[in-house]
Chain A
Amino acid sequence: MYGGGGDASTMYYGCAGPVSDWTQRIASLQPTIDRSVATMYGRLPATVGTGAAGGGAGGGGAGGAGGNQQCHDRVKIGFCTDLDKSVLVNNFEKRGWHQVNGDDDWHFYWAGVQTCRNIFSVDSGYRMHDNQMINHFPNHYELSRKDLLVKNIKRYRKDLERDGNPLAEKTESNNSSGTRYLYLDFVPTTFVLPADYNMFVEEYRKFPLSTWIMKPCGKSQGAGIFLINKLSKLKKWSREAKGPFHPQIAKESYVISRYIDNPLLIGGKKFDLRLYVLVASFRPLKAYLFKQGFCRFCTVKYDTSVTELDNMYVHLTNVSVQKHGGEYNTLHGGKWSVQNLALYLEGTRGKEVTDRLFGAISWLIVHSLRAVAPVMASDRHCFECYGYDIIIDNALKPWLVEVNASPSLTSTTVNDRILKYKLIDNILSVVLPPDGLPDVRWNKIPSADALGNFELLIDEELAAQDEAQNNSSSSSHVKSSKLSSRWK
């Protein structure tokens, strides 16, 4: 009698008579408000999972995709993945896809960067057909390699400046040397070593007291990173690197960036933000921001004293680094939701500064993407989900630290798993056409429902349409109004 999922309520509540005017109302709201009850992935016991949750997962969670699957029963969608992660496979299987081999005819490939490179390389001779989709752009490293990101942003700013674009306006720097960009100053001063060594030394001499952070260009997850506050230490490192014991370092290039030594601390601890940005296309630029990012906290108190300079647990928030610290907590994994950050900042600092911060974050993401858009191979088969690492300083200014093209899909906690499952689900529903079959001819304009927890950061195509409609307003005006206060 009580079987069935959400819509059963109307069946048996009616006969209750005087019992429950308000319970009935509650029940009728159930499918809309409490959608995630049905999709509490991995939280419900097995008995419920088969009934309520199992039934609900298709309808509630999948958004537009679920209902449309029947449309193309003739095409069985084949997926292929290099990563054997449950958050991926469960999502694919939930959509009724079947797993195939990379050599077979696949429709959707969640590939590692190497596979992607092979597929797109001229030598492979592989030609993707219209109903195939892959999760990387062929030259994503323009954004994800630390040296190239900086190079692209520098070039983007110079180009804008040359065109006399107001975005490239400069202002006197507050630490008395030279100028900085008023609106596009969102990456810490960075140089590529060894190429820009002389430029670095010049900058170093201007600010002899600042700390610098060295990162190998090609590595991720905090590997090979160290801090420098004396030029002599860099020289020593460079001598050692040339020595016979570290032949691999000599070949590698590094970036050296001004270290944000005034980070915003919460509860006395340093953190950075991990935000997920989905790019469906670079030309025209179509990008979406996942609302459920999180803060990653250091387990150890922030301390700038020189003795602590070598304690990487203080400085690096990467989970892969923090996991090895003695204080790592497996229940929350040092992760705190962006929603909680916003609530805390609004409560303690006020709404205006909080809105400004989140506006600045959206701004930073959009312009980093615009910086690489001209050099990206905007293949219509591709989409990519980037992990943006952002540090907020104590003046509530966000700084872009780096962009990861293969953000970790490993789940450290229960909530992490729920979040990542939802992330993948939402990615699929944004990048796939309404009928669920990959198709390069689709206009890539997802419906509002399909967005899920994503929100539109920028869609140049839509913006252009808007602009054509109301020609009166200038282009920069439209953009800026589009960017303001997207976070809520």
Chain B
Amino acid sequence: MEELQDSSIHHMTAKVIAAIKSAKCYEPIYKELQRLVASPNVYKNDMRNTLEDAIKAAGLETEIRNMIYNLVRSRLRRLDVADGRQTTKSAQSDPLGYLKRAGVLWDRRVRKSLNAMCGELKVPLHGQPRISADREDFVAKWNELSNYNMDLANYRPVYAPKDLLEVLLSLKGPTRPTEKTDQIPQWEFSHIALPVKNLFELRTHYAELLRSDPYSVPDLAMQCQRILDSRHAPMCQQYLKKGCTPAPYRGALWASVLDSKLHDYDIDNWQKLRNSVWTTDHIVDKLVFKDIQLTASNDDQYFVFEDVLYQVLLCFSRDTDIANCVEYETFPVKGKTYEGPPSGVVPFHGICMFAAPFCYLYDSPVCLYYTFRAFYIRYCHRLTTINTHPQGIVSLCLLFEKLLQTYEPQLWSHFRELQIQPLRVVFKWLMRGFSGHLPPDQLLVLWDLILGFDSLEILPLFAIIILSFRKDSIMQVSSLDSIEAILADLSSIKVLPLVQLALSRD
């Protein structure tokens, strides 16, 4: 037994080391280490101890710890899962095969639309060099792209939340019983065999939100500053679980949790991305412009940041690292495959709302970019693709339905009588992570909780909370439009007290 444990630790260590070596930050750390070895504090005779001390003193230990923490969180866990899947299940016998297949098909369909748009408008998918006049104009207006003129009349978003919703609602699993299709249209999700938490499990997961701090700290800001000084990513994450992060520290805490603190190579990379935007004219540029003009520019919470968002999303579209980090569903499906933009992310209606809240945290577009990118890779992309991940949009929809059915049966049957899929009412909230729906100060609290508890499950839970909160009004109306009108204005919603209330029991 011990032997087995030993070998498993050994196996893990080997994996971590391999992962570290392939990481971008490996080289600067390695160089720093070399410098330390050569420093006068490290003695040849007592290399091990003196080098360890030097590593600790230089703060390198924390950095390495954070790195391992993030690697274990993101990449290794994924590798394990992938290994497990491949060995145990073949494509045919996988009960979730249809879901994976749908995921692949959805992705393909989106790319196909993009390709079709390129064909229609006679522009190459890979982009074309900007003509020099345009390039000069573009560079000159880089900080005020809202003044950059172009004709966007022929461009429209490739897809909107509604399109994804329709696909989700039409998902058909093999286990779905066919005899139930009588009068009431089938619109439930419950046939999908994905495991989701119940309220009890959610309470356990979010238990710390309810824990009253025995060491009542008089000065949150001071505590926060100390945690930031320690630079320990796990402590930063722990802090976010309180849901009362002081605004001045949020940017640094998020960057720490998402491992997106700026390195020199990040700044170089940002400049490369920017140059790529300056030199090539890509169809996604137009889609990015169109999207910002349709959403953020018209939003009274975010319109002032319009120009920052142009920069961030344009660079985002060129970033090939994103395509490498995002996990897509794989499943053997026959048919033609299509290429996508360099980032692999086809802009949809509202994509800029994922980036917009970050404008309240960072003044510099570079800092904003890397934290937003990390957040997108970790969470947002799961909201726009069909996948089997426990925090993918399918699981979140399922969780929403199960919670509604179990804990708000009155609302559930009200929706049922009206033949309105409850998901229709909340889907845009889920897919955007409530961005653009909650006022920024509250949205940031909600996203604190996403990061703190490392889970998107708060989104369906919070959707239920809002429905429940406005239940009286919803019960009085009988059309989708009226329900949407009741839920249109969330400006009075306070996240933390409502979530705490919902999770607490007597």
Q: A residues bordering B, Cβ < 8 Å?
A: 2-3, 5-6, 8-9, 16, 19-23, 25-27, 29-30, 33-37, 40, 43-45, 47-48, 51-52, 266-269, 271, 295, 297, 300-301, 327, 329, 331-332, 334-337, 339-340, 343-344, 346-351, 413, 415
Q: How many A-B pairs with Cβ below 8 Å?
A: 160
**Pairs A–B under 8 Å by Cβ, sample size 13:** A21-B505, A22-B501, A22-B503, A22-B505, A23-B407, A25-B504, A27-B469, A267-B307, A268-B307, A327-B146, A332-B300, A344-B360, A413-B300
3 A-B pairs with the lowest CB-CB distances in the bound complex, closest first: A332-B300, A346-B247, A36-B492
- Residue of B246, B359, B441, B506 touching A351 (CB-CB under 8 A): B246
- Residue of B407, B472, B482 touching A27 (CB-CB under 8 A): B472
- Residue of A30, A47, A297 touching B304 (CB-CB under 8 A): A297
Q: Are A30 and B469 in contact (CB under 8 A)?
A: yes
Interface assignment of B488: CB less than 8 Å from any CB of chain A:
yes
User: Knowing A21-B506, A26-B502 touch, does A2 contact B408 (C-beta < 8 A)?
Assistant: no
**B-chain residues with CB within 8 Å of residue A26 when the two chains form the complex:** 465, 468-469, 498, 501-502
Interface assignment of B308: CB less than 8 Å from any CB of chain A:
yes
Q: Are A267 and B304 in contact (CB under 8 A)?
A: yes
- Residue of A27, A44, A269, A347 touching B248 (CB-CB under 8 A): A347
Q: Are B504 and A348 in contact (CB under 8 A)?
A: no
**B-chain residues with CB within 8 Å of residue A16 when the two chains form the complex:** 410
- Residue of A3, A20, A340 touching B407 (CB-CB under 8 A): A20
Q: Which chain B residue has the least Cβ–Cβ distance from A348?
A: B363
User: Knowing A19-B407, A19-B409, A37-B470 touch, does A336 contact B248 (C-beta < 8 A)?
Assistant: no
A22 to B498, CA, bound (A): 10
User: Knowing A22-B503, A25-B504, A336-B304 touch, does A44 contact B362 (C-beta < 8 A)?
Assistant: no
User: Which residue among A8, A26, A346, A351 has the maximum number of chain B CB atoms within 10 Å of its CB?
Assistant: A26
**B-chain residues with CB within 8 Å of residue A3 when the two chains form the complex:** 476
Q: Are B494 and A8 in contact (CB under 8 A)?
A: no
User: Knowing A44-B486, A343-B441 touch, does A268 contact B143 (C-beta < 8 A)?
Assistant: yes
Query: How distant is A274 from chain B, measured CB to nearest CB, in Å?
Result: 14
Q: Which chain A residue has the least Cβ–Cβ distance from B300?
A: A332
**Tally of chain B residues near chain A (CB < 8 A):** 62
Interface of B is mostly: helix
- Residue of A19, A29, A271, A415 touching B501 (CB-CB under 8 A): A29
| Complex interface residues of chain B between 295 and 354 (CB less than 8 A to chain A) | 297-301, 303-308
Q: Which chain A residue has the least Cβ–Cβ distance from B199?
A: A22
A16 to B359, CA, bound (A): 44
Interface assignment of B251: CB less than 8 Å from any CB of chain A:
yes
Interface assignment of B493: CB less than 8 Å from any CB of chain A:
yes
A439 to B506, CA, bound (A): 49
Q: Are A37 and B408 in contact (CB under 8 A)?
A: no
- Residue of B303, B486, B491, B505 touching A332 (CB-CB under 8 A): B303
Q: Are B247 and A351 in contact (CB under 8 A)?
A: yes
Query: How distant is A414 from chain B, measured CB to nearest CB, in Å?
Result: 9
Q: B residues bordering A, Cβ < 8 Å?
A: 143-144, 146-147, 221, 246-248, 250-251, 297-301, 303-308, 359-363, 407-410, 439-441, 444, 465, 468-473, 475-477, 481-482, 485-486, 488-489, 491-494, 497-498, 501-506
Q: Are A339 and B441 in contact (CB under 8 A)?
A: yes
**B-chain residues with CB within 8 Å of residue A51 when the two chains form the complex:** 476
Q: Which chain A residue has the least Cβ–Cβ distance from B498?
A: A26
A301 to B395, CA, bound (A): 44
- Residue of A22, A29, A43 touching B488 (CB-CB under 8 A): A43
**A-chain residues with CB within 8 Å of residue B489 when the two chains form the complex:** 37, 40, 43
Query: How distant is B140 from chain A, measured CB to nearest CB, in Å?
Result: 12
Query: How distant is B44 from chain A, measured CB to nearest CB, in Å?
Result: 47
- Residue of A27, A33, A348 touching B497 (CB-CB under 8 A): A33
Query: How distant is B357 from chain A, measured CB to nearest CB, in Å?
Result: 10
Q: Are A267 and B306 in contact (CB under 8 A)?
A: yes
**A-chain residues with CB within 8 Å of residue B475 when the two chains form the complex:** 2
Q: Which chain B residue has the least Cβ–Cβ distance from A16?
A: B410
**A-chain residues with CB within 8 Å of residue B498 when the two chains form the complex:** 26, 33
**A-chain residues with CB within 8 Å of residue B248 when the two chains form the complex:** 346-347, 349-351
**B-chain residues with CB within 8 Å of residue A5 when the two chains form the complex:** 472
User: Knowing A23-B408, A301-B147, A351-B246 touch, does A336 contact B472 (C-beta < 8 A)?
Assistant: no
Query: How distant is B402 from chain A, measured CB to nearest CB, in Å?
Result: 15
**A-chain residues with CB within 8 Å of residue B250 when the two chains form the complex:** 347
**A-chain residues with CB within 8 Å of residue B492 when the two chains form the complex:** 33-37
Q: Are B472 and A2 in contact (CB under 8 A)?
A: yes
A47 to B481, CA, bound (A): 11
Q: Are B485 and A45 in contact (CB under 8 A)?
A: yes
**B-chain residues with CB within 8 Å of residue A331 when the two chains form the complex:** 298-300
**B-chain residues with CB within 8 Å of residue A37 when the two chains form the complex:** 470, 473, 489, 492
Q: Are A34 and B493 in contact (CB under 8 A)?
A: yes
Q: Are B502 and A22 in contact (CB under 8 A)?
A: yes
